[in-house]
Amino acid sequence: MQADKMFEIDNSNLGEYTEVDIYFCGKNGKFGLFIPKNSENDLSSINPDKQLYVNREDRLTLIKKWIKRDVNNVKAWYEEDPNKSKAYLFQVAKHFFMDKDKSIIEESKYLVNTMVLMFEKYPDTMEKLSFLPAKDFSLHYHNINVMLYCIDFAKKNKRTKDELVIAGLTGFLHDIGKIDIDEEILMKVDTLTKSEITTIQNHPRLGIRILKDCKIDERIIDVVWEHHERLDGSGYPRGKFAESLGMHSRLLAIIDSFDALTSERPYKKRLSIMNAFKSLMEEADRGKYDSMILKQFAKCFIGTNL
Ligand SMILES: [Fe+2]
């Protein structure tokens, strides 16, 4: 078994891997079978002292199963406990951002498709879910939230099913470039150094590098690249101006900032929805955001004009 075909798993979560073979890596670098699939052992009670692995192809199959099982249960869980349903989505999302496995990233279409179906079946629940603030900040919650807002907004604007999926995928994958950035920098509470800021501001570029390697719809690429650009040229990474920024990039910039403002972060408190819109409107007046799109987005969610 070759190392690049293996994936390091979280040893505390072995119960998730009962249906596949689990391996360990010997001192000689060779992989040996640790627990065969469908073993009678209760994996959740095993506490191994060595790092364990599964085959990447097996992991992909499992992820598909988890999406099918978990995402379809989101409504039932929501009724039981809204935080639980979001936590499950968080767990699913986490698997897409654990490494740069192209085939896993490509599978995010499957997750978004399922979410779009959920929006068609249960629009009220799904809308409430996107507004449910996460207790702890994490990139995964942010990706889930931005995906939900994008699908909801597209749906309320009567877009086609294909456009809903593209909107959701753009939201889910917009920060994919951050998987190439050290988590210590991403979660740093103290003021960032100049070089750390430069590193973070490179994430849209890193993101498109990853996505260009994947079988992913071309329409997503530009929006991922441009989600931190601002109409007055003050954004990054390229400092583009309004005339070269499309509607979808302008919208994602607003949704991304809205979720950042309304979420708790290690270095800041969350704003209320109304205060977040007020802050965005002030920025739009200064020429950063598209005020027409901002008003449409706000009207969709609060039902009144800003
Ligand atoms: Fe970003």
Q: 111 and 149, same structural domain?
A: yes
The alpha carbon of 222 and the centre of ligand 1 are apart by a number of angstroms equal to 13
Give dist(CA 116, CA 160) in Å, integer. Answer: 11
Give the total number of structural domains in the chain.
2
The alpha carbon of 252 and the centre of ligand 1 are apart by a number of angstroms equal to 10
pLDDT for 105 equals 87
pLDDT in tens, 118-145: 888 888 888 888 777 665 567 788 999 9
The alpha carbon of 200 and the centre of ligand 1 are apart by a number of angstroms equal to 9
* Residue 213 Rama label (left phi>0; alpha psi -120 to 50; beta): alpha
Per-residue exposure over 128-152, b if at least 16 CB sit within 10 Å of its own CB, e if not: ebbeeebeebbbbbbbbbbbbbbbb
Q: 272 and 141, same structural domain?
A: yes
Question: Nearest 5°: CA angle at 197, between 195 and 198?
Answer: 65
Which tokens go with 232? 């007055």
Which structural domain range is residue 49 located in? 1-56
Q: 131 and 47, same structural domain?
A: no
Q: 162 and 27, same structural domain?
A: no
Q: Is 63 among the domain residues?
A: no
Q: Is 215 among the domain residues?
A: yes
Q: Is 125 among the domain residues?
A: yes
pLDDT for 1 equals 66
DSSP assignment string, 24-79: EE-TTS-EEEEE-TT-SS-GGG---SS-EEEEHHHHHHHHHHHIIIIIHTHHHHHH
- Could you list the active site residues? 178
Q: 201 and 167, same structural domain?
A: yes
Q: Is 192 among the domain residues?
A: yes
The alpha carbon of 65 and the centre of ligand 1 are apart by a number of angstroms equal to 29
Q: 94 and 38, same structural domain?
A: no
Q: 200 and 265, same structural domain?
A: yes
**Sign of the alpha-carbon dihedral angle for 254, 258, 259, 260:** positive
Answer whether 262's CB lies under 8 Å from 301's CB: no
Read off the pTM: 0.88
Q: 167 and 207, same structural domain?
A: yes
> CATH number of the domain that 281 lies in?
1.10.3210.10
The alpha carbon of 173 and the centre of ligand 1 are apart by a number of angstroms equal to 10
pLDDT for 134 equals 60
Answer whether 18's CB lies under 8 Å from 38's CB: yes
pLDDT for 237 equals 96
Q: Is 167 among the domain residues?
A: yes
Q: Is 68 among the domain residues?
A: no
pLDDT for 136 equals 59
The alpha carbon of 56 and the centre of ligand 1 are apart by a number of angstroms equal to 28
pLDDT for 133 equals 66
Answer whether 236's CB lies under 8 Å from 227's CB: no
Q: 167 and 80, same structural domain?
A: yes
Q: Is 61 among the domain residues?
A: no
The alpha carbon of 112 and the centre of ligand 1 are apart by a number of angstroms equal to 19
Q: 244 and 278, same structural domain?
A: yes
Answer whether 107's CB lies under 8 Å from 60's CB: yes
pLDDT for 21 equals 94
Q: 217 and 92, same structural domain?
A: yes
The alpha carbon of 250 and the centre of ligand 1 are apart by a number of angstroms equal to 13
Which residues in the chain show pLDDT less than 70? 1, 44, 133-137
Q: 222 and 90, same structural domain?
A: yes
The alpha carbon of 202 and the centre of ligand 1 are apart by a number of angstroms equal to 9
The alpha carbon of 261 and the centre of ligand 1 are apart by a number of angstroms equal to 13
Q: Is 85 among the domain residues?
A: yes
The alpha carbon of 271 and the centre of ligand 1 are apart by a number of angstroms equal to 19
